[in-house]
Structure 1
């Protein structure tokens, strides 16, 4: 039985007579993902259960099915123009995903990408459960050659790199999306898509974490003067979770707060040493670089450089205007 309303859909073959199940299940999968053909062994009992919800560019589905085969052949690709990327996260049981001449054998905890623009096959030897995330191609920011190198390769959290950090985070975020308020859901969904893009780029041979680090730190340098700059602001700007932001900085041997404070002090120290800025008071320089309290700025400056801002200005040869 297929039920639901946009943007959600659910299907269960449990209450259908056996002769109606296969057609109903194939319609449900084709409506939820992309056009596919389903085959089952008629002498073996099977039940299909599916629940899906769309949140902006992201669709989250949970599928229980097997034994059987899901095939997107050349005819389906030609008839159905949808070209999304599907990400299969195996939850229970096993699955074989075949695409682009490769076979990914998925066990619980494994993840694999497959591309709806080209034929693929999923072989299920037993009843299993999986979570299927579906996103447009554009947010992954991959070239076609990178996508072809990515499909039907097993991604797990034991291989190191971004996947080691991000796959557990991905599971938690997807669970949180399903429980969050409507106002919060789309923001979380964007974070899930960003994580998928990061994992995909690394698997395809890119350097996603270093690129993300450079993008974040370059952006923060332009915002050092904002006294209200917070880790949550930074995370929201780059569509990542606050927890992931903190982990990125930890992997660099620092914290968000310490990194921002150091960059602010460096910028203030540089300005204090410039003769052209001699007309600005130390309090004005401190405020310009995000310090709301002149006394806190002076204390932090002394702790970092062993002298007060005024002493540094004199030592640098700038005329003090205070």
Structure 2
């Protein structure tokens, strides 16, 4: 766990220390403070599976991710800030939003952004792998610098879930970590799919379509025509939505089925047969399932299940 706190230092050393702390924890950043006379900042970072979770607090400051820094840095992740105290202005991709307590927003480390921390603050920050994020929620450029969660019935659950997730011991096996994080992604997805993004209704609709697919992954007959009928749109329109992400409905459905079966086969406690696992992921043809699983993961389901599983400890 990374742990930084400027209050342990003399005032004259705090700014430089903090700049190094946030750059080491997140990505290289530029930070200016409102007042060096009473500035403070503290953060603690935990690693969960492929994610990072940071509890960060401090006084007023302006944080920037600049073009000049990005050119020299190859970090490429998605960050999400959930405000627990104070307010934060977020600017990226020509948009600006103000995040208040209980709200969250996304920003992309691969492009410039500005964070204006207005007075004393506390927030939880998630560091997410781009591939995982965009597979579930779509292209990040459609979601940056928007505010989510305001007045949503799941707002409090979201805040409590993330804080309790941070408090959980990291000393648990990767299988359980992945399972819990998958549940949190489902929670975020429920909030995002009901949001009203200005001029981005397609993004919200695609999230709803993906949610429906994932909730019905065990049904072998789920198809683009039934989904289109449910949302009262055409199959062709759904195809166009997936084309925006350089994939197809069929590819997304297959990959989702494979991921579902992969998690089940990886589980130490799942005693179901491979055939039962395949059926629960919506596969009916075992030969097809085995062939596609091997293409994706490099081994057959049977081979994968007999491989020794690594237990990660931080």
**One fold, TM greater than 0.5?**
yes
Asked if 1:212 is matched to 2:217, the reply is no
Select which of 97, 106, 114 maps to 1:121: 114
* Structure 2 counterpart SS, 1:14: helix
Q: CA separation in 2, counterparts of 1:134 and 1:177?
A: 14
1:52: Cα distance to partner? 0.9
RMSD, aligned CA: 3.1
Q: CA separation in 2, counterparts of 1:64 and 1:218?
A: 40
5+ residue gaps, structure 1, are 1-7, 159-163, 223-233, 241-322
User: How many residue pairs get matched?
Assistant: 216
Select which of 3, 11, 14 maps to 1:10: 3
Contact 1:97 1:106 in 2 (8 A): yes
Deviation track 1:94-123 (CA, whole Å, cap 9, x = no partner) reads: 111111111111110111111101001111
Tell me: higher relative CO, structure 1 or 2? Use CA pairs within 8 A at least 6 residues apart: 2
Contact 1:194 1:239 in 2 (8 A): no
Select which of 79, 82, 92 maps to 1:86: 79
Contact 1:173 1:188 in 2 (8 A): no
Contact 2:11 2:39 in 1 (8 A): no
Q: CA separation in 2, counterparts of 1:83 and 1:103?
A: 21
**Matched ranges for 1:166-185 at <5 A:** 166-180=154-168, 182-183=172-173, 184-185=176-177
Asked if 1:52 is matched to 2:41, the reply is no
Q: CA separation in 1, counterparts of 2:186 and 2:49?
A: 13
Contact 1:50 1:64 in 2 (8 A): yes
**Matched ranges for 1:214-293 at <5 A:** 214-220=213-219, 237=260
Q: CA separation in 1, counterparts of 2:137 and 2:74?
A: 17
Q: 1:179 to 1:13 in 2, by over 3 A?
A: closer
Q: 1:121 to 1:152 in 2, by over 3 A?
A: same
Q: CA separation in 2, counterparts of 1:117 and 1:144?
A: 17
Q: What does residue 188 of structure 1 align with?
A: 180
Q: CA separation in 2, counterparts of 1:94 and 1:167?
A: 16
Contact 2:82 2:124 in 1 (8 A): yes
**Matched ranges for 1:3-152 at <5 A:** 8-42=1-35, 44-141=37-134, 146-152=139-145
Q: 1:140 to 1:166 in 2, by over 3 A?
A: farther
* Structure 2 counterpart SS, 1:34: coil
1:166: Cα distance to partner? 4.7
Contact 2:54 2:124 in 1 (8 A): yes
1:157: Cα distance to partner? 3.9
Q: 1:121 to 1:218 in 2, by over 3 A?
A: closer
Deviation track 1:186-207 (CA, whole Å, cap 9, x = no partner) reads: 4212332444456556653333
Larger radius of gyration: 1
* Structure 2 counterpart SS, 1:205: helix
* Structure 2 counterpart SS, 1:176: helix
Q: CA separation in 1, counterparts of 2:10 and 2:119?
A: 21
Q: CA separation in 2, counterparts of 1:193 and 1:71?
A: 27
